[in-house]
Chain A
Amino acid sequence: MELATFGRDIVHVDLTRGRCERRPAPREWVEKYVGARGLGVRYVLEAGPSVDPLSPDNVLCFLNGPLTGSEASMSGRWACVTKSPLTGTVTDSHQGGWTGARLRWAGLDGLVFSGRAETPVYAFVEDGEVTLRDASALWGRGIHETVKILQERHGGKDVSVCAIGPAGENRVRFAAWLNEDDRAFGRGGTGAVGGSKNLKAIVVRAAKRKSRVGDPDAWKAARRRALDAIRDEANITSPKKGGLSVYGTNVLMNVTNKIGALGTRNSRTTSFGESAELISGEYVQENLLVDDPTCHACPVACKKEVEIREGPWAGLRMESVEYEPAWSLGANCDNADVASVAKLIDQCNDHGMDPIELGNALSMYMEASERGWTNGEPLVWGDAAAMVAMTDAIAHREGVGDLLAEGPARAAASLGHPEIAMAVKGQAVPAYDPRGMKGMGLGYATSNRGACHLRAYVAAAELGVVPIEADPLEWRGKGELVKTFQDLHAFSDSLDLCKFSAFAEGAEHYAEQYALALGRACDAAEVLAAGERIYNLERHYNNLAGFGAGSDSLPARFTEEPSTEAGSRGHVSELGEMLAEYYAARGWEAGVVPEAKLRSLGIV
């Protein structure tokens, strides 16, 4: 497996004609946009900004980065990039697990789907070849069953399956792709794009292969330096010792609760009080944990497999009660029953849905119900059984489920009250309340894919886990900070290394591994420059698609209704002030990339 040839082995699949054609990515694109996220955005731009996301004209890109599937730590990531049916922006989402790595071992760097198959199909990849197979008998089946059937059909060993479920088939606007049963391309509705194309699954069969690079000793030493940083006991990634490794992402629940940054009851308050402990990583570890599975080349093992032992869902074994869904389906819906949270997440994994969007849709509808703004079928705060039933209804677009399948922003607008949707550019907010973590709020507002915690993830600074620390309640300085973090992550998402590598590694580690893998020069400054170029490319696409002045916003709840909870009491998001700082740092004019900036970055 030659790492330096990255970008050469991309197969374009025209689903309308049933043709699979190997076409290398233009060298210039790979040079400028690295791979995975960056390269995918360039393909989406090529398809045009006015494309209807659910039409055959949209492209659905599954792309590795130059490091995917290599021996580099935390390199089990690959990206799905398309125009989002939820937001109308370009969107990218990333999975862990093994499918991306296996695609690389099968001799491919990516798959770009266009068109629409006449009947359901799945793509089978082996030895660098892609064939389309009939998926009619799989249509309508959940992801767990689909994975099982396809793994058995193709031999089980060395086989990975990435699939959509009923939600994608029914074009739920926040439908997701999942591989290995539970690793998701979660955000932005990529699963609905798959459903619109009659594409049920991607199956990859390939045994593990070793990377080849020009300087193996230097490559090994660089990887070792990165691994040492990950293992350092001072870092939260330290295997079996750091908080992320021991408890998974849900180690965050108690701390955001304490600092008044845990949105509760559709973000009407900023703390879940004593109930947060009951859905926290600490509680899960003490009461439900049965295993710590991991992804390709990852010593952190943040995934947490749990088993529910009592109550209506006793016997359910699933992964993973992550922080985001534990918040969205827990605190945000006033639901302190962790067993039901696990059940709801597993439903998302089986139906193929984004649990962040689902939780926000349910909490929005709960608030609407409380205020008497629904037309029957009310949903009561914390009614776990009703949440489970509504989740099935959403996946199948039945009754009120059909309304909520449009996502909380569209659904709230349909109810005549768009102000109760906690969303940015049509995508719902994640688990950090912008009143208690100012930088995260700015990150939501300026994310190119709608509200998102991962584009910037300045939580690492605001919670003090990286050397650059920032007071979560101070708005000054957040403009430059958010820009820097967005640029760094745009690069790591294009390599494609796990986001959490940034808790231990820095731009220097990324530069060194990228340079040795590709056999080219690269330093930390170039990492940030490439990240900036990718971020501006995304923004340029969005500008062409109609996003501009006013698009970088937050719901008024965050800017006008002060927090009433300890840690952030009295605070709102000073979004206007932060945006001014941010646009100055970016060189943008009211959210638009000027022509001169595009030229200076080599985008046009």
Chain B
Amino acid sequence: MEVAFFATLRAIVGAKRVEIDLPGDARVGELVDALVARWPDLKELLRDESGGLSRRVHVFLDGRSVRWLPEGEATSLEGVESVDVFPAVAGG
């Protein structure tokens, strides 16, 4: 699965897009764990103290933040066309 990174996360990952190998029935939580395993520096950004998805990062599936999906990290990645990972950002 291709995952796109943005803003300050690009410096950690060293690329704008990366390919992540996941089983066909993978869910968001497994994707996050795979990212942390490959780039340990992402752990403090992606995971909060209780092991949940941190507020400091948004994982978007086809433009919707996982935070707003009913199943959260348990959401299946099957059929998802784009995965984008952003640090929390704003401006104006």
Contact = CB atoms under 8 A, between A and B. Distances in A.
18 contacts: A241-B8, A243-B87, A244-B89, A246-B8, A249-B91, A251-B89, A252-B92, A254-B7, A255-B89, A259-B60, A322-B91, A323-B91, A324-B92, A464-B88, A465-B90, A469-B55, A472-B68, A568-B63
A358 B60 CA distance: 32
A499 B68 CA distance: 26
B33 interface: no
A324 B7 CA distance: 17
Given A473-B68, A566-B63, A457 B92 contact: yes
Interface of B: 6-8, 10, 55-56, 58, 60, 62-65, 67-68, 81-82, 84, 86-92
Given A251-B7, A255-B86, A464 B91 contact: no
A84 B7 CA distance: 37
Given A241-B8, A259-B63, A566-B81, 5 more contacts: A243-B87, A259-B64, A260-B63, A474-B68, A565-B63
Contacts of B86: 254-255, 258
A506 to B, nearest CB: 15
Contacts of A467: 55
Given A282-B7, A464-B58, A471-B68, A243 B89 contact: yes
Contacts of B68: 471-474
Contacts of B6: 254-255, 282
Nearest to A281: B7
Interface in A227-278: 234, 236, 241-244, 246-252, 254-255, 258-260
Nearest to A431: B92
B7 A459 contact: no
A469 B63 CA distance: 17
Contacts of B88: 236, 243, 463-465
A459 B8 contact: no
A238 B87 CA distance: 13
Among B60, B63, B64, B92, max chain A CB count under 10 A is at B92
A243 to B, nearest CB: 4
Contacts of A242: 8
Given A251-B7, A258-B84, A281-B7, A244 B90 contact: yes
A248 B10 contact: no
B7 A258 contact: no
A503 B92 CA distance: 11
A219 interface: no
A213 B91 CA distance: 32
Please provide the 4 A-B residue pairs with the shortest distance between their CB atoms, ordered closest to farther.
A567-B63, A249-B91, A566-B63, A243-B89
Given A243-B7, A471-B68, A252 B89 contact: yes
Contacts of B81: 566
Interface string A422-462: 00000000000000000000000000000001100101100
A463 B65 CA distance: 9
Contacts, number: 97
B58 to A, nearest CB: 6
Contacts of A471: 68
Given A243-B87, A255-B86, A249 B92 contact: yes
B20 to A, nearest CB: 18
A98 interface: no
A464 B58 CA distance: 8
Consensus secondary structure, chain A interface? loop
Contacts of B56: 234
Contacts of A248: 91
A267 to B, nearest CB: 17
Contacts of B55: 464, 467, 469
Nearest to A565: B63
Contact of A464 (B62, B67, B92): B67
A36 interface: no
B77 to A, nearest CB: 15
A318 interface: no
A281 B63 CA distance: 19
A274 to B, nearest CB: 11
A321 to B, nearest CB: 12
A481 to B, nearest CB: 15
Contacts of A279: none
A167 to B, nearest CB: 23
Contacts of A236: 87-90
Given A243-B87, A566-B82, A567-B62, A499 B92 contact: yes
A469 B92 contact: no
A448 B64 CA distance: 31
A125 interface: no
A184 interface: no
A81 interface: no
Contact of B7 (A247, A463, A565): A247
B63 A464 contact: no
Contact of B60 (A465, A469, A567): A567
A457 B91 CA distance: 9
A243 B91 CA distance: 9
A527 interface: no
A421 interface: no
A103 to B, nearest CB: 24
A566 B68 CA distance: 15
Contacts of B92: 249, 252, 323-324, 453-454, 457, 459, 499-500
A284 B81 CA distance: 27
